[in-house]
Structure 1
Amino acid sequence: MIQTKIKEAIKKYSNELTDIRRKLHSEPELSWQEEKTTEFICQYLEQLGIAHRRTEPTGVIATIEGKRSGKTVALRGDMDALSVEELNKELSYVSKEEGKMHACGHDAHTAMLLIAAKVLQEMKDELPGNVRLIFQPAEEVAEGARAMVKQGAVDKVDNIFGIHIWSQMPIGKISCTPGPSFASADLFKVTFKGKGGHGAIPHDCIDTAIVASSFVMNVQTVVSRTIDAQHPAVLTIGKMVVGTRFNVIAENAVIEGTVRCFDPQTRDHIEKQLQHYADHVASLYGATARVEYTRGTQAVINDKYSADLVQKVAATAFGEESLFSEKPTMGGEDFSFYLDEVPGSFALVGSGNPEKDTQWAHHHGKFNIDEDALAIGAELYAQYAWVYLNE
């Protein structure tokens, strides 16, 4: 089922794989600012003789054309970093950019996909079809995948596969189960307007500190009392700005938060309930409310055929013991926008190892990966493409 040449080649290039990852880690670039990363990818693909083109403003789409005609499978790796100060100061490849860090593993994704591309390019005469390579910017702001789709990333693609390094899973483990994997991730903003005044005469005012506080306490019942408990959902208030001074009744209050779920009907219901609760709480106190609801990423729902294929590939390439069933996460992933266009799946590759201090959560300043995961991810990319095209 798997291609032994791929396994041998990944092993041969393992040092180069690590070097690429460390280079990218030390030179992080934020969403839509990945100029150096894009240029590095283009130069690397140029040396390999892989046809490619830059996307706007950053990112790369490339295609490895097999000698024989067949299907086209896409492999996606994201490449943007985060506004996080790296705390791993002892690393030889620590971030050179103050306040910027690859705190989510996108440096690893890019490195793994580049080495997978190198190996597949060497085998292109044996490929019965084509491999599309998508080096995506701006995943962290949930905009990159949609932009890449608009610029032709999945045109004439039959299937797509993506990987995310996962520090919450042990090194050597791979998870890709059919059905929900990542939740939809939406943003909302509620603005209350009341009537300000002196703190000594509250009876002449409409205090939005009270209005906003009431809303925060009551809106939690949207999930706990209006949604089927078998349809998981999260409604989180992350920010509340109210008032200007200790003895001034607040005239305005602004609340911001996020909604996460897997079911489209649940998503629609929560959006309507936010407006309903805001209007009624405001009316109770004589204030007004304005709700702005912004839909972010869709839920990542793994196609059964693709997810089952990943499991078969992983079990054959790395052993049955490599298979892991990670629970769906309420985190968001814009890989979902590719799955709106073509069937596919999204796998998690474990990189957590307390002995190497790589168990820290994603987006934490101490985040790092057990680099043994790099070869696993690179091989999984390449083996999946090989097996899919030969199915």
Structure 2
Amino acid sequence: MPAWQQSLDKIVADATPDLVALRRRLHANPEPSGAELQTSLDLYQTLDQPGLELRLGPDGCGVLADNRIVSPGQRIAFRGDIDALLIHEANDVTYRSQREGVMHACGHDAHAAIAAHVALALHKLEACGHAPWPLRWRAILQPAEETAAGARGMIAAGALDGVSSIFALHVDPPRPTGEVGLCVGPFTASCNDVQIVVRGRGGHGARPHESRDPIAAAAQLVSSLYQFIPRTTDSFDAVVLSFGRIAGGQNANVIPEEVELDGTLRTLDAQVRSQTIEQMRQIARGIEEITATQIEVHVDGGIPSVQNDAAAVRILQEAVASVHGVTAKVIPRPSMGGEDFACYLDHVPGAMFRLGIAAGDGRIRPLHTPTFDVNEAALPLGVRILARAVILACESTAAGA
């Protein structure tokens, strides 16, 4: 093992108690998307070291941290997201959420703690003179990933200015600790919010023939979409359409004027996404005709699919191979979850990897559930892998300069 890797591993090992403490502090004090003010302040203070240049993100949410460099050149960025979800925690642990109805149920506390300690480890490696070549890096601690607004906001604030590539990780509950998932190409799905309004004519529940019932039309619409979208999509093309909210009416015996539906559309291919949206609108037009209602279908711009760059994945493979006790497995198919890390990849190449966090006790603690938790033994592994990837990518940048 090269001397710089030995030095890096010692730095990470020595800082592991602080790494775990930071993750637990963030977990106990979660803040939802767009409100990460105290989280950002905590991370800012954690990274407030001589030789690091820090600035807060838009509206005080998020942190950008750069190392000071004397020679010109582009930086290698790495991202950790920091927002929590509106979920009430069910875990009985000392670091459980202290905020009613808010919880780090997607591992962003781990992502943020790992990214912050990657920055600290790289800074210490440079300070002790053990960096193998000039390092140019930027840590992006990003708010509002869950609402898919944070990446674009940080990019607008200059997060990618002077950056040549970017890396990130996401914890993976079913994957064993000590295992990493890698793939080239599609890593996650594109994600679009779907809003539908069905307008009819209200009336008395006892005389539905005098109304144009939007609830009946909405029920028929959801049933038809769920039935026909899979039947009009090539079975080799992944498409997921789900509705999570239907709202209409206030009284049991009154047919309302309108019904609202909110859902999500997930695809892996831009052309398939466009075709699916048009099929949804065709089905809606058919339901309009048979129910005499008016149906408006709106699909937002959404976030694209994370597309891992082949060269960036090769760097991650090399980084993983150099960490004792960690193995890499190929991810056989992409997740249909969304990830606004994709927005960075619209501008610069990069890659995300999956970090196994299963504790080996036979229990799976899924993302976005009240019982989600992280095996903290995975935290220093994430730091070692991500820090190595940044250093190896800086070698390529230095060679190109």
Structure 2 length-normalised TM? 0.92
1:364-375 aligned at under 5 Å gives the runs 364-375=369-380
CA RMSD of aligned residues (A): 1.9
* Contact persistence 1:314–1:323 (CA under 8 A): no
Which secondary structure state, in structure 2, belongs to the residue aligned with residue 158 of structure 1? strand
Q: Which runs of 5+ in 1 are unaligned?
A: none
The answer to whether the 8 A contact 2:180-2:326 is kept is no
Alignment of 1:198-217 (within 5 A): 198-217=204-223
1:208 touches 1:251 (CA, 8 Å); kept in 2?
yes
Matched, 1:84 2:87: yes
The yes-or-no answer on 1:190 pairing with 2:183 is no
Shift of 1:70: 4.5
Equivalent residue letter for 1:180: P
1:15 lines up with 2:17 in the alignment: yes
Q: Pick closer, same or farther for the CA change 1:56–1:70 going to 2, 3 Å.
A: closer
Cα distance in 2 for residues equivalent to 1:356 and 1:94:
21
Q: Provide the residue aligned with 2:322 in structure 1.
A: 316
1:292 aligns with 2:298: yes
Change (3 A) 1:318 1:207: same
Cα deviation code 1:26-55 (max 9, x no counterpart): 111111111111112222222353111111
Letter in 2 for 1:144: G
**Number of the residue aligned with 1:347:** 353
Structure 2 residue 114 is matched with structure 1 residue 112: yes
Deviations 1:180-217 (A, max 9, x none): 11111111111111222223333222222221111111
Equivalent residue, structure 1, for 2:151: 145
- Regions of 4+ moved over 6 Å: none
Counterparts of 1:1-391 in structure 2 under 5 Å? Answer: 3-57=5-59, 58-66=61-69, 70-89=73-92, 91-124=93-126, 126=131, 127-318=133-324, 321-325=327-331, 327-355=333-361, 357=363, 359-391=364-396
Residue-pair matches, total: 389
Q: 1:111 to 1:38 in 2, by over 3 A?
A: same
Confirm or deny: 8 A CA contact 2:309 2:350 kept in the other structure.
yes
Distance 2:270 2:303 in 1: 12
Distance 1:26 1:246, change over 3 A: closer
Structure 1 residue 313: Cα displacement: 1.4
2:399 — aligned with what?
none
CA distance in 1, matches of 2:300, 2:74: 36
Residues 124-183 of structure 1, C-alpha deviation per residue, up to 9 Å, x if partnerless? 353424101101011111110000000000111111001111112111111121011111
Q: How far 1:254 sits from its partner (Å)?
A: 1.8
Q: CA separation in 1, counterparts of 2:26 and 2:374?
A: 13
Deviation at 1:251, TM superposition (A): 3.1
Q: Distance in 2 between matches of 1:248 and 1:114?
A: 55
- Which segment is superposed worse, 20-29 or 246-255? 246-255
Aligned-residue sequence identity (percent) comes to: 34
Between 327-336 and 235-244, the greater mean CA deviation after superposition: 235-244
AA paired with 2:108?
H
The residue type equivalent to 1:22 in the other structure is R
* Rounded Cα–Cα distance in structure 1 between residues aligned with 2:233 and 2:203: 39
Q: Please say if residues 190 and 278 of structure 1, whose CA atoms lie closer than 8 Å, have aligned partners that are also in contact.
A: no
Alignment-mate amino acid for residue 300 of structure 1: V
| Bigger mean CA offset, 40-49 vs 292-301 | 40-49
**Alpha-carbon offset, residue 307 of structure 1:** 1.3
Question: Residues 277-306 of structure 1: CA distance to partner in whole angstroms, max 9, x if unpaired?
Answer: 112211122111111211322111111111
1:387–1:47 Cα change, 3 Å: same
Letter of the 1:86 counterpart:
E
Contact 1:25 1:102 in 2 (8 A): yes
